[in-house]
Structure 1
Amino acid sequence: MRIILAEDNDILRKSLSFFLESKGFSVDQFSDGKDALDAIKENHYNLILTDINMPGISGMEITQYVRETLKSDVPVIILTSSGVEQTELDSFDIGANEFIAKPVSPAVLLVRINKLLNTRV
């Protein structure tokens, strides 16, 4: 299973990528939203894991592009340090499947990823 991870925090991105790879996932990681979106346009991913606030293009914009322009139903999990309820509601309105507040528990993230991927098989 191939995951794209778009997260501008280097430590979080690298640690989540390492964790997911140790669980058997192939992870393409990006620190910039525009680079991540370019990769999404060119490759097939089983899941998109994106931070909301990133340089270039936000996670919300990535999600919106995937849903509206690419017409893709690939699962999207949005990560954010924002505790604002409206941000979470907006994420679901544009098509995100899950919303996880930082700090991210790798174990909880894995359960949510497996839940999304297993329902698609």
Structure 2
Amino acid sequence: MENKKILFAEDDQMLASLLVYRLRKEGYQVNQIHDGKAVKEALEQGIPDAIVCDVMMPYFSGIELIDYVRNELKSDVPIILISAASNDENILSAFKMGANDFIPKPISPNELSIRLAKELSRVSV
């Protein structure tokens, strides 16, 4: 997964640091962002190879992000949502809006790595 660009949006600094460290160790180029407004700004600069985003973010939720990427940017970039609020309603709306995957918190770095690699392999086929 060398040189794959990942946009990682999570407002929990401790969790973000742990997961971003792991992804960088695996060779990903990770753009770590802490709020929804910065996510939108980053996407205006260019679309990454994949997006990992928390559902509940300041300014712009993960669900709104999916809508923005799919309907305004017209991109099918893989989007993986992560959330502590992993109730059926959030999960269903994420998939309806076009999320590729949904991982409930607490999240294992190994699980994120495997799911991300799976989504990226679908795209590069």
Aligned residue type for 1:70:
L
Give the TM-score taking structure 1 as reference length.
Answer: 0.97
Please state how far the C-alpha of 1:44 moved relative to its aligned partner: 2.7
1:33-89 residue CA offsets vs partner (Å, 9 max, x unmatched): 110111012123000000010111111111110000000000000000013111100
Return 5+ residue gaps in structure 2 as ranges: none
The one-letter amino acid of 2:85's match is S
Matched with 2:115 is 112
- 1-structure distance, mates of 2:48, 2:7: 7
Between the aligned residues of both structures, percent identity stands at 38
CA displacement, residues 2-50 of structure 1 (integer Å, 9 cap, x when unaligned): 0000000000111111110000000001111110111012123000000
Residue equivalent to 2:22 = 19
Distance in 2, Cα, partners of 1:50 & 1:99: 10
**Structure 1 equivalent of residue 63 of structure 2:** 60
Rounded to whole Å, the distance in 1 between the matches of 2:111 and 2:64 is 25
How many Å separate the matches in 1 of 2:25 and 2:67?
30
1:43 is aligned to 2:46: yes
Conserved? CA contact 2:22–2:109, under 8 Å? yes
Q: Is residue 47–residue 77 contact of structure 2 (8 Å, CA) maintained in 1?
A: no
Q: Does 1:82 find its partner at 2:116?
A: no
